Structure 1
Amino acid sequence: MAESDAVKDNKFSLFDACSYNANLEDKDYFVGIKYENDNLKINFPLGFTKAATEEELKKDVLNLIYILSSINENNESFIQSEKIEKKDSVLFPIHAYLYLIKDFLSNGYYFEREVKYTKAKSGKINWTKTVKQIKPTLADDNIFYLDFITRKTEHNENELISQVHQYCVWESFSKIGWLFTSFTPVKPKPTFNKNLFLSIIKVKLSQTFNEKTMMLFNYMIDVIEYLDKSNDSKNFTYGTNEFEYIWESMVDQTFGEKNKTQFYPHCYWDIDGKSYSSDQLEFKQSALRPDTIMITDKKTDEQKIFVLDSKYYRYGESKQLNHLPMSGSIIKQIAYAEYIDNKEKEGSLKPESKAIYNAFIMPFDCKGSDEKMKFVGSAYTDYKEGNKTYYRIKTILLDTKYLIENHNRSNNMIKVLAELIEKSK
């Protein structure tokens, strides 16, 4: 299935396999890649701009894969990581498949190098063996060698490890090779045999100290283990039904402070004369925690704190009011900011900020425009009156594709978002 059986079909366009705005309808919440019953399906998240060319589309798919895998690896929150681990991708070792394809395109098949020494008049001379094995010629009191023992390195293509590697490469291309090239490796002769393949690789793994070779062998093991579990099925799935946790993590990576525990309000119990923090309870009920704390102008007297709540909601695409955050989220945001404000007044947080702001961050498709972030309105409650900047929660739409491509911390994006929140009415 290199380029997948479906993609190889001339009548098939990769665009036909793609659907956008997963979650816009209450039917399919899956974001990622599925190949089932010879049908390829790629679901992009809410607010993801459609590609104009197939080359751009392949890049989009790779970016989606990388964000799904990187957030899964790096997520530190117990609740979030537990949710993310439920996605079907845990069954499909996509890192292994990607590595094997890229390594093959760079280095070709893996072969054991066999060193042979032969008698020859030219070549890479091994003088130690030449002196021991070749009788020199004496002329005018000078010693000459008319033949030499030369060293030659050959690839042993018949080694079992090479055949196993060829099988893993073919398997990798058959699943996701279409993301890189239309090239189709020839299917190797050996049939899949988990125990034999693993035995061969593990023996070789124990004999090498080369880090790249060890990495290659370990990824080969991942592929073989997966094939055994899937019974060599062509079907595979990589993605999640809960992209909201990935959205939250991307926003936090891009805009947030790494150490934000000082901004968490905690809850306590006094029971039978003893005081307990919510963190001490058996089931580890976590403290209330804002999704993201963004701070600007840290080294000046104009420092500002922004409490951001990442909402993977549909409003940016549907424009329906019932797809906006509800009362509970609004009140909670004000409570977070009020806690920070009170702590600053007590001197628990230093230096004291000049202002505290609240914002919801939701996905949308900017449709190729330069406006990657967009203010659409504010939320507030009637039980809080006054001119506190955090009493109004600004609602900002953020282009999903732009965030995925730039989700590592960016000072410029922080500046743009801060100014947009401050200036919005």
Structure 2
Amino acid sequence: MRAAYFRELRPYSEGEVRAELAVCIDEARAVIDTLMNCGIARYHTGDERDEEEAIKADGAGMAHRYQFRYVGIVVALGHVIICYPKYLRSSDRPENQMRQVLSVIRRMGQEGKLLDPQDGGRRSDQLALMVRLLLLYDEYGMYSNFEETRVPNGPGVIDWQRTIDMETPVISSGTPIYLDLWTRKTRRNEYDLVTRLHWAILSECSRFLTDSGLSVLLSIGTVELTDESPTDIGEPEYLLWVIDRERAGQFVTWKQDVLDLMRAYLSERGADADRGRVLRLGTTSYYHAWEVACKAAFGDLLGHRLRELPIALANGWHERRSETLLQIIPRPLWKRAQDMGDAGDVDTLIPDTIAFAETDGRSLFCIYDAKYYALNERGKIKGQPGVESITKQFLYQSAYQGFVEDHGFDGVVNTFLVPTENDEPKLLARVSFPGVMSGATGASEKFSDHIDVWALPAHEVFDCYLRRRKLDPTICASLLRQFNEGSM
């Protein structure tokens, strides 16, 4: 089965979709309609206002009507569709990059950080179930139960209690001697119904991924354990009853997960379900993955309590040492007219990432905001953060003004972070707000009167998230070096 590749949010014409799918126009329209019904594809109007979704494509005209608002894998009407992130521009089939993208999606799904697609049609989590089952098998092996047998004079461990109860000893010099010993042996029950069902489901999942060409992309090896299918073992209602009975007495966490996944798999009728469903492994909110990855890469301190920070707290801050860096941000204060009392707490500013850094003997307070944008690198700047994002970024440093000054930071780094497929970080632009945010907070020169826009190697940032490590120090140094030079 051939995979068709589409870039996230790039406008496509109906003819381009048909050519990539390699089908007739009627089949292409059917696939497009199916994807639009479940929120994966949408019409491109040209006046999208959502900053996180807006993207311009050179040469896009009225015929370029469709966008794929999705990153990941989709199987629709028998077609495998790969939607890759919008920052990947140099290749029409970025297989290597997609392996990392899918690893990020899987990890975020396991951690409960993945925002689900906003779908309205027939869709299924079956593909995600298949992948999860195969990964659990790779990590823990076969689901199996063990049965214990006792036999006289066997090769197992002696069961002294049963030997004493069942055998008559010979007394020699006052000491009992047992001529026959009962032994206990534990062996895997390979004929257990749940084990057979696990074999059948794993084999069926593996065959589906192999036939669709997804096993290589997902880095999942072939699993061929049996020729049986779940339907060969029993009717779905009976198998669900067997799983529920097994689940009631199972207390091993990974086995509980396997049973739950097998139940969900059978409930959706397995890999042989009707062709009209849409199977997917991905998200319409990949921008959230970029935000989470940047937090991991820079070692976000926003949720840390003040007493846990790698600095000595100044006088006046000890009383607030149990608060986090987020909690010390002031909140808007509303009061009702005519002195009717406080209107209560309201939401406040929430930065993406706060970090501390040192360069050339200077301590810096860094405010990073992850923006999943695809800025152009030449000519007039397009696709940049809007005025709301800019003003909020300046307000973040204003909110931390007292903390920065009291703790002797030498400067504030204020930066937007956007992803790029390139291997090196690059300063793309700088934005200021003359006449509105001049002098930033009106305080000392340590506070920034501009915001830099840096393009960071996406593969490096996402690798930090996957491996739970910090960003390469040379990349961090690049961001801070520009701060020291003070010019573009």
Q: TM-score under structure 2 normalisation? A: 0.65
Q: Which of residues 273, 280, 288 is equivalent to 1:245?
A: 288
Change in CA separation of 1:131 and 1:396 when aligned onto 2, cut-off 3 Å: same
- The answer (yes or no) to whether the contact 1:127–1:149 under 8 Å persists in 2 is yes
Counterpart Cα distance in 2 of 1:307 and 1:327: 17
Amino acid aligned to 1:335? L
Instruction: Give, in angstroms, the shift of residue 396 of structure 1.
Output: 0.2
Counterpart Cα distance in 1 of 2:94 and 2:386: 39
- The answer (yes or no) to whether the contact 2:84–2:98 under 8 Å persists in 1 is no
Change in CA separation of 1:316 and 1:254 when aligned onto 2, cut-off 3 Å: farther
- The answer (yes or no) to whether the contact 1:267–1:278 under 8 Å persists in 2 is no
Change in CA separation of 1:103 and 1:257 when aligned onto 2, cut-off 3 Å: closer
Change in CA separation of 1:126 and 1:320 when aligned onto 2, cut-off 3 Å: farther
Change in CA separation of 1:105 and 1:328 when aligned onto 2, cut-off 3 Å: closer
Counterpart Cα distance in 2 of 1:317 and 1:185: 52
State the partner residue of 2:61. Answer: none
Q: Deviations over 1:32-86 (max 9, x none)?
A: 11122222222222334989x999567425423335425x624xxxxxx8xx244
Counterpart Cα distance in 1 of 2:171 and 2:399: 96
State the partner residue of 1:353. Answer: 409
Question: Identity percentage over the alignment?
Answer: 20
1:202 equivalenced with 2:244 (yes/no): yes
Q: TM-score under structure 1 normalisation? A: 0.73
Instruction: Give, in angstroms, the shift of residue 18 of structure 1.
Output: 4.4
State the partner residue of 1:391. Answer: 449
Q: Aligned pair count?
A: 386
Give the gaps of 5 or more residues in structure 1. 1-5, 7-11, 75-80, 281-285
Give the gaps of 5 or more residues in structure 2. 12-43, 45-66, 304-324, 440-444
State the partner residue of 1:29. Answer: 69
Amino acid aligned to 2:281? Y
Counterpart Cα distance in 1 of 2:83 and 2:291: 19
Counting only pairs closer than 5 Å after superposition, residues 138-177 of structure 1 correspond to structure 2 as: 148-174=181-207, 176=209
Let me know the Cα RMSD of the aligned residues.
4.2
Q: Deviations over 1:82-127 (max 9, x none)?
A: xx24456x95277754443134346653333222333456555444
State the partner residue of 1:109. Answer: 142
Higher RCO (CA < 8 A, seq sep 6+): 1
State the partner residue of 1:402. Answer: 460
Of 329-338 and 300-309, deviating more is: 300-309
State the partner residue of 1:271. Answer: 336
SS in 1 for 2:382: helix
- The answer (yes or no) to whether the contact 2:144–2:192 under 8 Å persists in 1 is yes
Which structure has more helix as a fraction of its residues? 1
Counting only pairs closer than 5 Å after superposition, residues 22-61 of structure 1 correspond to structure 2 as: 22-25=8-11, 27-48=67-88, 59-61=99-101
Counting only pairs closer than 5 Å after superposition, residues 288-303 of structure 1 correspond to structure 2 as: 288-297=349-358, 302-303=362-363
Q: Which of residues 104, 109, 116 is equivalent to 1:64?
A: 104
Amino acid aligned to 2:146? R
State the partner residue of 1:3. Answer: none
Q: Which of residues 417, 425, 434 is equivalent to 1:382?
A: 434
Instruction: Give, in angstroms, the shift of residue 131 of structure 1.
Output: 5.2
Change in CA separation of 1:195 and 1:339 when aligned onto 2, cut-off 3 Å: same
Q: Deviations over 1:358-403 (max 9, x none)?
A: 211111111xx4x2x2112211122144566521211100122221
Change in CA separation of 1:392 and 1:207 when aligned onto 2, cut-off 3 Å: same
